[in-house]
Amino acid sequence: MGILCRADEIGEGEARGFDYGEHSLVVVRMDGQLHVYVNWCPHLGIELNFQPDEFFDLDRRYLQCANHGALFEVDTGDCVLGPCKGDALRKVGFTVENGDIRILSVPTRTR
Ligand code: FES
């Protein structure tokens, strides 16, 4: 699989959405760690955001689905509040090579 973006494009406490082939992905950096998830809420199987790169709750602590407000932990993708509590965002396998985020695997949709 290919390069998604430069790792340094994602600042601390930022989240950005990307189209990657047929996939919609979200990259987030928190506490210095990068995380990549499929931008696909497990509640209804639709994208999390209404506006580009708007993925955080008001406190910028959790990723939030704009549709019905589900909150997801940034580091695990686990839903901790909302209609899909107990479910999780799907993690995307990636590595950072020469400053680029390279996608290794994207889990397929289940819906
Ligand atoms: S679609 Fe995400 S909380 Fe309902």
The residue contributing the CA closest to ligand 1 atom 4 is: 68
The full set of domains in the chain, from first to last, is 3-105 (2.102.10.10)
Other CB atoms within 10 A of residue 99 CB: 10
pTM confidence score: 0.95
Centre of ligand 1 from the C-alpha of residue 95, in Å: 29
Number of C-beta neighbours around residue 76 at 10 A: 13
How many Å lie between the centroid of ligand 1 and the Cα of residue 70? 6
Question: What's the CA gap between 48 and 65, in Å, rounded?
Answer: 4
Pocket mutation for ligand 1, best pick of 49, 57, 84 (most atoms within 8 Å of C-beta): 84
Q: What is the pLDDT along the chain (111 residues), one digit of tens a residue?
A: 799 999 999 999 999 999 999 999 999 999 999 999 999 999 999 999 999 999 999 999 999 999 999 999 999 999 999 999 999 999 999 999 999 999 999 998 654
Contact indicator for 97, 106 with CB cutoff of 8 Å? no
